[in-house]
Amino acid sequence: MNRWVYLTIGIVFLLLTGAALVSYHGKKETEQANVKAEQLQTALATAGLRVPYKSSIVRVLGDDGGAVCHDPRDALRRGVLYGMITNGAAGPGQRPVLIDNKLLQGQALIIKVYCPQYADAFQDVIADLKDA
C-alpha cells in the first residue's frame, strides 16, 4: 500500500518538475534593457555618481526597472525606503539618520530612466527628507 502512494507522489513530483522546467523562461537580456542601462550609466556619470557595470544594471533592473518601478509612491514602498534610512539598530534603538544625497539622487535617476511617469511623485516623497 505505501509503495503505491510513494510511487504516485514521485511520478506527480517528476511531472510537476518537468512542467516547471519547460515553462520557465527567465529574465532575458533584451536590446531595450541594454539601451536603458547605457542611459542610466550616462546619467549616473553626468551626476558624478559611481557607475556600475552595464551587465549588473541589466541583470537587476531589466527593461522595466524591476522592483524600483512598482509604484514608488505606494505607502509600502515609502515605508521600505524610510525603513532603510535608519541607524541600523533594531527595535527601540532604531532611529532615522541623515541620508547621503547621492543615494537618493541615484534612485531618482533610475526612476527617471526606467519609469519617468513616477519621477515627479518620487521627488515629492524625497523632498521632505533631510540629506547630508
Q: Mean pLDDT over all residues of the chain?
A: 87
Note the pLDDT tens digit of each residue in 21-74.
888 876 667 889 999 999 999 999 999 999 999 999 998 888 888 888 887 778
Residue matched to cell numbers 539598530? 89
Higher pLDDT, 99 or 39: 39
Q: What pLDDT, on the 0 to 100 scale, is given for residue 68?
A: 84
29 with 60: CB under 8 angstroms? no
Distance CA 2, CA 125 (A): 59
What is the model's pTM? 0.71
Dihedral sign (CA 57, 61, 67, 73): positive
